[in-house]
Chains A and B, each alone.
Chain A
Amino acid sequence: DGGITQSPKYLFRKEGQNVTLSCEQNLNHDAMYWYRQDPGQGLRLIYYSQIVNDFQKGDIAEGYSVSREKKESFPLTVTSAQKNPTAFYLCASSEQGSYNEQFFGPGTRLTVL
């Protein structure tokens, strides 16, 4: 089955620690995205990548970092610089072109203790 996997589903972190969220897709999509969702709110874009070895900041990139070394993988690191990291994180992918629908993974719920 083609799709997007995110791991882990739930993640707990102590303050001051960096943590990396995994996102893998086997849809052969060029573009990948990371969104943050807070309770009762819509999605906000953190980073996106249109092609391997290239990525761009979204609206709320501060305190986050990404890499895109392989087409199928787009990991997100939440650094200690992120002031309020507790949220639901969604990864998505699409064919290249901003007009294409995005397909989403199941999400990772990050809680900072």
Chain B
Amino acid sequence: HSVLTQPPSASGTPGQRVTISCSGSTSNIGTNTVHWYQQLPGTAPKLLIYSTNQRPSGVPDRFSGSKSGTSASLAISGLQSEDEADYYCAAWDDSLTGPVVFGGGTKLTVL
């Protein structure tokens, strides 16, 4: 099982706002920043959010990240069909588990 816990699935209709949660512990999310990756079907992962709430160049501002305590969230507003993908959270982990831990991934379906 993964060190970071994500719901296996999420869904929404076009235009809706959806959030994906990521739960960790004091050694990872509680101490370090969180990063989110988007993996479209059949492709390599792409950095979507880094340092908890920063968007790389080219990522629409519909995507946003936040963190509170040992949990983090990815929010997608104005959901579009092309957002249908797997989403992974990840963090540096200061414990013996680490140093890098991923969530199990959330499959987002746009209905």
A and B are partners in one complex rather than unrelated chains: no
Which B residues are within 8 Å of any A CB, using their own CB? none
